[in-house]
Amino acid sequence: MTSPVTELVDLLALERLEDNLFRGQSRDIGTKYVFGGQVLGQALSASQATIDAKHPRDAHSLHAYFLRAGDIDAPIIYQVDRTRDGGSFSVRRVTAIQHGQVIFFAAASFHKQEEGVAHQLSMPEVPRPDDLPNADPVPDGVLATLPTKVQRWLDRAGPFEFRHVYPRDELNPPKRPPYQQVWFRLAERIGDAPELHRAMLAYASDFHLLGTANFPHGISYYQPGVQMASLDHALWFHRPFRADDWLLYSIDSPSAQDARGLARGQIFDTQGRLVASTAQEGMVRVLKDTD
């Protein structure tokens, strides 16, 4: 049986149809529509595949917009526009298409390695991942009362392992300040290609990010009256890392208003190096009872 990590590696390895045209498959992981992190990771994979190996440069930023919900049962076509190849930077625009409609677009920027000034903010002082327990599984009796999609999401063995510094009961969420720290890593070792590790991080960066905007309101994605959807996503890569080593995702939500929430994240390795940063705004609607 194929492991979840191997499935994700295969999911991010797109089929090349033409020089700038790729096809990706989708996986049902328990979300109603295609998981946003999947589209982010595949779009980054497509753009990375168009960088000339004779002039290597690494992805340093990705800015994306989610326009339509993705169909889990259909492949996604990724069209890459080679917008610019300069002396130091390259820019790619990626459009994701399903059923003849654009569901997502992104711009990715690449930079050749250069020496320069360097600084970073310090990593928060939190327990190490080995000092934190794995999350307790949802009891079978509780799981059986939930919608089928939610059951699949909560009961699946995913490719990433997560350990929350301050665990929160998402089925009965308390009100808390809008921040959290989560250690995560791939459940198995993968190859050394930096492009693969960046695509993996793009995939993982969509977990837990927008949900932080729910904390002050005592709501969660699993509640029937709560609707959530990613509107945009920004990701910056700062330093080399491995997605199969422990990484700390430190997230806060500075604002929520007008049925939208904003969340920001910093990702550190175990040595305290800031390896990536994220930001995302999403729709957060709490539906009123119609009874």
How does residue 129 score in pLDDT terms, banded at 50, 70 and 90?
very high
**pLDDT given for residue 28 in this prediction:** 82
Rounded CA separation 97/111 (Å): 27
The CA-to-CA distance between both ends of the chain, in Å, stands at 47
What's the mean per-residue pLDDT of the chain? 92
* Cβ pair 179, 151 in contact under 8 A: no
Question: What is the side-by-side order of every strand in the sheet holding 58-66?
Answer: 15-18, 21-24, 76-85, 89-98, 101-111, 58-66, 226-237, 274-286, 260-269, 247-257, 179-186, 160-164
CATH superfamily of 4-112+133-286: Acyl-CoA thioesterase, double hotdog domain (2.40.160.210)
Contacting residues for 149 by C-beta, under 8 A, at least 6 apart: 30, 31, 32
Percentage with pLDDT > 90 across the chain = 80
pLDDT at 209 over 50: yes
Rounded CA separation 143/109 (Å): 43
**pLDDT given for residue 290 in this prediction:** 46
Percentage with pLDDT > 70 across the chain = 93
Q: How many CB atoms lie within 10 A of CB 144?
A: 9
Element (H, E) at 255: strand 247-257
**pLDDT given for residue 71 in this prediction:** 94
Whether 230 sits among the annotated catalytic residues: the reply is yes
Active-site hit among 26, 98, 230, 250? 230
- pTM for this predicted structure: 0.93
pLDDT single digits (tens) 212-222: 999 999 998 88
How does residue 153 score in pLDDT terms, banded at 50, 70 and 90?
low
Whether 19 sits among the annotated catalytic residues: the reply is no
Lowest mean pLDDT among 138-152, 162-176, 188-202, 275-289: 138-152
Q: Which residue has the higher pLDDT, 230 or 290?
A: 230
Rounded CA separation 65/251 (Å): 20
pLDDT single digits (tens) 36-74: 999 999 999 999 999 998 889 999 999 999 999 999 999
Mean pLDDT to the nearest integer, 256-264: 97
| Among 221, 200, 233, residue whose Cα is nearest residue 285 | 221
Mean pLDDT to the nearest integer, 223-245: 94
Active-site hit among 45, 90, 250, 280? 280
Helix (H/G/I), strand (E/B), else coil: 45: helix
Rounded CA separation 66/70 (Å): 9
Mean pLDDT to the nearest integer, 19-45: 92
Q: Which residue has the higher pLDDT, 149 or 31?
A: 31
Whether 277 sits among the annotated catalytic residues: the reply is no
Active-site hit among 26, 206, 244, 277? 206
